[in-house]
Amino acid sequence: MIARALPRSMKYAGVVAALLGLALLPLWVSNPYFLSVLTLAALYAIFASSWDILSGYIGQFNFGHAAFFGAGAYATGFLAPHIPVALVFAAGALAAAAFALLMGLPCLKLRGPYLSLTTLVFPLILERLAFTFRDITGGEYGLTIASPLSRIGLYYASLVLLAATLAVLLAVADSRIGRTFRAIGDDDQAAMAAGINTTRYKLGAFVLGATLAGLGGVLYSYHLRHVGPEMFGLFTSFQIVIMGVVGGTGTILGPAIGAYFLTLLGESLREIETFRILIYSGVLILCVMLFPRGLWGLGAIVGKLVSRAPSPGAAR
Amino acid sequence: MSALLAVEDLTKRFRGLVALNRVSFDVARGEFLIVIGPNGAGKTTLFNVISGFAPPDAGRVMFAQQRISGLSAPAIVARGLARTFQIPRPFKSLTVAETVDLARPSKAGAVFATLHGGHRSVVEHVLRLVQLWERRDEEANTLSQGDLKLLEVARALATNPALLMLDEPYAGLGPGEMARLTQVIKDLHGAGLTLVIIEHKLRELMRLAQRVVVLHYGEKIGDGTPAEISRDPRVLDAYMGGRGAVAHA
Using CA coordinates, name the residue in chain B closest to A182: B93
What distance in Å separates the CA atoms of residue A41 and residue A262, rounded to the nearest whole number?
A: 8
Residue A253 has pLDDT above 50, yes or no: yes
- Across the interface, do B83 and A193 touch by the CB < 8 Å criterion? yes
pLDDT of residue A5: 52
- Across the interface, do B77 and A186 touch by the CB < 8 Å criterion? no
What distance in Å separates the CA atoms of residue A83 and residue A91, rounded to the nearest whole number?
A: 10
Residue A155 has pLDDT above 90, yes or no: yes
- Per residue in B39-76, pLDDT (tens digit) is 888 999 999 999 999 999 999 999 999 999 999 999 99
3-state SS class at B14 = strand
All residues of chain B having their beta carbon less than 8 Å from the beta carbon of residue A173 are none
Residue B133 near residue B100, CB atoms below 8 Å: no
What amino acid occupies position A314?
A: A
Q: Which of B206, B208, B173 minimizes the C-alpha distance to B188?
A: B208
What distance in Å separates the CA atoms of residue A176 and residue A189, rounded to the nearest whole number?
A: 18
Using CA coordinates, name the residue in chain B closest to A190: B89
What was the ipTM of the complex prediction? Answer: 0.90
A229 CA to chain B: closest CA distance, Å? 39
What distance in Å separates the CA atoms of residue A299 and residue A256, rounded to the nearest whole number?
A: 14
What amino acid occupies position B141?
A: N
Phi/psi at B94 (nearest 5 deg)? -115, 160
pLDDT of residue B244: 46
- Per residue in A276-288, pLDDT (tens digit) is 778 878 887 888 7
Contacts of A232 (CB under 8 A, 6+ apart): A66, A67, A70, A123, A124, A126, A127, A130
Using CA coordinates, name the residue in chain A closest to B78: A195
What distance in Å separates the CA atoms of residue A131 and residue A232, rounded to the nearest whole number?
A: 11
pLDDT of residue B114: 56
Q: In the structure, what pLDDT confidence band is assigned to residue B15 with cuts at 50, 70 and 90?
A: confident
